[in-house]
Chain A
Amino acid sequence: MDVLSADELLERIQQRFGDKLKEAEVKERAMTDAPPPIRRVWVRVDREDFRDLVKFLMEFDFPHLAVASAEDMGDEIELIYHMSLFQGKKFKEVYVNIKVRLPKNDPKIPTITDLIPGALSTELEKQEMIGVDVEGIPKERLFLPWDFPEGVYPWRRDETGPKDDMVKYVR
């Protein structure tokens, strides 16, 4: 197994996926000037290509999924899967951040738990917190209490978000 740098990895992804990548860049951390600077891959794909991209990454190394973050962007929900390749290689770990945008009227995304079993808790969390429909995992709650009202998603910024009377002592 070859260990690739962030730039080499992005080049391989671009060769394979071409126009299917909506965004593709390697971002360097400007935090410190001490060498070597940390470089990470940021890409955006459609949900149809998302699983293919994860499978493609698995050809290089087993991806360590940290978490999926989510943001309500108005008409769309953006998920970002933060995963890293080549863990355990000194200075060589490469973070790949995969963005997927889902329309709010049809927020479906296929599960990746068959590829990465550790993704289950973060996928369950996305289901209950932002109302994404992850296909292929149980529709049960992980963090939210059992008596939390149905159809309310804490991370949404629209009428399905938390009601004013539910938010106290925050501001």
Chain B
Amino acid sequence: MAEHISVSYNVPIGPIHPALKEPISLTFEVEGERIVDVKVKPGWNHRGIEFMGMERNPVQVIHLAERICGICSFVHAISFVQAVEEAAGIPVPERALYIRSIVGELERIHSHLLWAGVAAHELGFDTLLHYSWQLREKVMDVLEIVTGNRVNYGMMVFGGVRRDITPEREESLFDMINYYRRNSDRLKELFLEDPTIKLRTRGYGILTYDEALKLCAVGPTARASGLAIDVRHDEPYAGYKYLNVEPVLPDAYTGEITGDLYDKFVVRLLELDQSVDIIEEALEKMPEGEITSEPKLPKLMVMLKKAEGDGFGRHEAPRGEVVHFVRLKAGKDNLDSWKVRASTYGNLMTWPPMFRDTQIADIPIVVASIDPCIGCMDRVTVVNRRTKSENVLVYDDLHRLSVEKTRRLQRK
């Protein structure tokens, strides 16, 4: 019998790849089918947004911030506006605080349902993908009714929000709440009680409590590992001060915390119910009143030009904590300094431990499990337009491998 010789190979995935919704480059070191190590190289989506922001005044930057990400566009707008409001000392009326929270929760519902569809697709359950995205259409319609747009809502202004929630819009929100209450049990049953999904997710992509803490993970990725952190609960902003928000941990459904892929499914699906409850509570408690403290834009511009100081805004985005740091200088129209920390940036370091002892066919679902938003993370620098093309081997059958593994498990 020949002596066992272990030889490891490097398998590069990306930057452009069918299993990845956005460009990122992952180089896997594999021994046979087993993944030994992974190197992550982001930066393929740089648009230089912070640089562009420092060439613009704060009112213009709200719209730029909103375009950092297409899925969670509200989170950057609210974090940026909160940071500038702190630096310039702009008050916000109570009704506007509630409306901010309501739009934030609507966005969480649509983002989590979008993620659920993507995760189902990566596992090879395209029927479930279409079912999740059919459910998602309801919240997209409501977002359009409330804000006027399906994405890039344009709701944020300094000192409040742009559009009020009128009685007709409130009716559509209550209608949506009933719709999701009716369908939530079915959705949870399809995702969490399916034996094949359990086989594919239980015990894979484990992130332990210690790793989540030390690698500074955020959002559902951290909560699935038992880290009870949630900005809405720890340091409440906007309307969350008046609302009942507790961090969702997977043991509420399964009775234990393992930090694997299944727990990440549980957290996101339970958060859908939580968001619906928060919207209902906010609509009931929301007082009448103004929606902005300073509707006159020229006056606001003068205030912002005079303002001097640092501001720090945070928001619990669907993917985790988003942080914006802003520095204003008196007499300067434009921002002096702007730093954006998106949630995927915080979760970037959690990939290598999660890939431990998984197989090549598990790559798509492990990548999808932190709900990566590369567009949010890569936005920091000047793009070099003289980039030469790179020769990277692309394995376009990765998704096929994942589907095949699911089918194989189903046959057993």
A residues in contact (CB < 8 Å) with B: 27, 29-36, 38, 40, 42, 62, 64-67, 69-71, 80, 82, 84, 86-93, 95, 97, 116-122, 125, 129, 141-149, 154-155, 162, 166-168, 170-171
Closest to B234 in A: A93
Interface of A is mostly: loop
Contact of A31 with B323 in the complex, beta carbons under 8 Å:
no
Interface of B is mostly: loop
Contact of A147 among B217, B310, B339, B384 (CB under 8 A): B384
- 8 closest A-B pairs (Cβ-Cβ)? A118-B216, A69-B339, A93-B234, A143-B43, A67-B341, A118-B215, A154-B381, A88-B228
Contact of B241 with A82 in the complex, beta carbons under 8 Å:
no
Q: Assess A92 versus B349: contact at CB under 8 Å? Given A30-B86, A65-B216, A67-B341.
A: no
Q: Assess A171 versus B55: contact at CB under 8 Å? Given A66-B323, A71-B336, A88-B229.
A: yes
* Chain B residues closer than 8 Å to A167, beta-carbon distance: 51, 382
Number of A-B contacts (CB under 8 A): 145
Q: How far is the CB of A123 from chain B (nearest CB, A)?
A: 11
Contact of B323 with A82 in the complex, beta carbons under 8 Å:
yes
Number of interface residues of B (CB under 8 A): 58
* Chain B residues closer than 8 Å to A120, beta-carbon distance: 349
* Chain B residues closer than 8 Å to A38, beta-carbon distance: 235, 237
Contact of A118 with B385 in the complex, beta carbons under 8 Å:
no
A sample of 19 inter-chain contacts (CB < 8 A) reads A30-B85, A30-B86, A30-B91, A33-B91, A40-B312, A65-B216, A67-B339, A71-B336, A88-B234, A91-B236, A97-B312, A116-B214, A118-B216, A121-B349, A145-B46, A148-B384, A154-B51, A154-B382, A170-B51
Contact with A along B38-57 (1 / 0, CB 8 A): 00011100101001100100
Complex-state Cα separation, A92 to B339, whole angstroms = 25
Closest to B309 in A: A27
